[in-house]
Amino acid sequence: MTAEFKIDWDDTVLPFQLDATDTRGRVARLDGVLSGILKQHDYPEPVEALVAEMALLTALIGQTIKLRWKLSLQVQTNGPVRMIATDFYGPEKEGQPARIRAYASFDRDRVNPAGVPFDQLGQGYFAVLIDQGSGMQPYQGITPLEEGSIAKAAEAYFAQSEQLPTRFALTFGKSTEAGGNEHWRAGGVMIQHMPKASPFASGDGGSGAGGVLLAQDLVQGDDEDNWNRANILLDSVEDFELIGPSVSATNLLVRLFHEEGPRVFEPQPVEFGCSCSEDRVRNSLSIYSARDIEKMTTDDGQVTADCQFCGAHYALDPKSVGKDAAPVG
């Protein structure tokens, strides 16, 4: 894998549309982003795989949010992996990278190091949250984890909450470059059919478990034919095409969808990045009284906090935090 290829295609999301059908999509490849996320933690391999899948979904879904917006994905379960949380921060300005961060909360004694990653989740839900900034009401949508993968739950979310037929083809795993270290890579394609009007009549329930809407419930007639064809073509993708160095994102789209007239747009660079800061820690502690702060103070005479996403450690003077804090500086 050459450095030039990594600059061109790794840690990017490429939006596209298929001009011959009402289909849009994105291609994403993550490398340095996953390294930045996973090196902060000592996760068992199945947990790393789940975090890689969530980060890839976050990149594919997040590409459409506006500047300075924040997209968060969460999985909450009663299984060995209790929670996975990711954040996608839209760029501050056009042309700047978006930032992704992620972490998992799990019971190490219950995780099977050799087990199937999805089996570590148990029963739970998949949630999408969009923060549009100060003064705006956050959006939240939730769907059950019942389809055998986090990607399937994300597809059900789009069918149920957005009424957009959606498919993901994802792959992720450890890779070793010549003369390099083993590290995680991920690649995927997301497609969505853009219906002229929703054909679904509410109240009848969908074909998913518990009446959840699925993609096939939302397309009819010619739209159904176009959507089925796009799915068949997407099913032909190979793992090495999604994750390997030999096929560029544009060549992959031509190989998969050449008769559908693929047209690409400006790629979105992404990088690992965290929003934590000492000011944010101070702000989160500002609700506590002096007595509460005293209980939080360590034997060393400090109030400490660790960021679950990036591992940053903050040690603060207890007199400088809380409701009764003395001015800093």
Other Cβ atoms within 10 Å of 55 Cβ, number? 29
Query: Which domains does the chain possess?
Result: 11-272 (3.55.30.10), 278-320 (3.90.1280.10)
Half-sphere exposure of 119 (CA within 13 A, CB side): 8
Burial 245-263 (b: 16+ CB within 10 A, else e): bebbbbebbeebbeebebe
pLDDT of 7 reads 44
79 vs 204, higher pLDDT: 79
74 vs 224, higher pLDDT: 74
pLDDT of 201 reads 43
- For the stretch 253-286, pLDDT in tens is 999 999 999 999 999 999 999 888 888 888 888 8
CA distances from 208 to 156, 198, 260 (A): 8, 18, 29
pLDDT of 1 reads 36
Mean pLDDT of all residues in 48-69: 93
Contact 12, 187 (CB under 8 A): no
What are residue 126's phi and psi, to 5 degrees?
Answer: -115, 130
Give which of 110, 192, 118, 120 is closest to 149, Cα–Cα. Answer: 118
Q: Does the pLDDT at position 4 exceed 50?
A: no
Q: Does the pLDDT at position 198 exceed 70?
A: no
Q: To which H or E segment does residue 170 belong?
A: strand 166-176
CA distance 34 to 215: 29
Task: Quickly state the pLDDT bin for 3 (edges 50, 70, 90).
Answer: very low
Calculate what percentage of the chain has a pLDDT beyond 70: 87
Mean pLDDT of all residues in 8-26: 91
Query: Mean pLDDT in the chain?
Result: 86
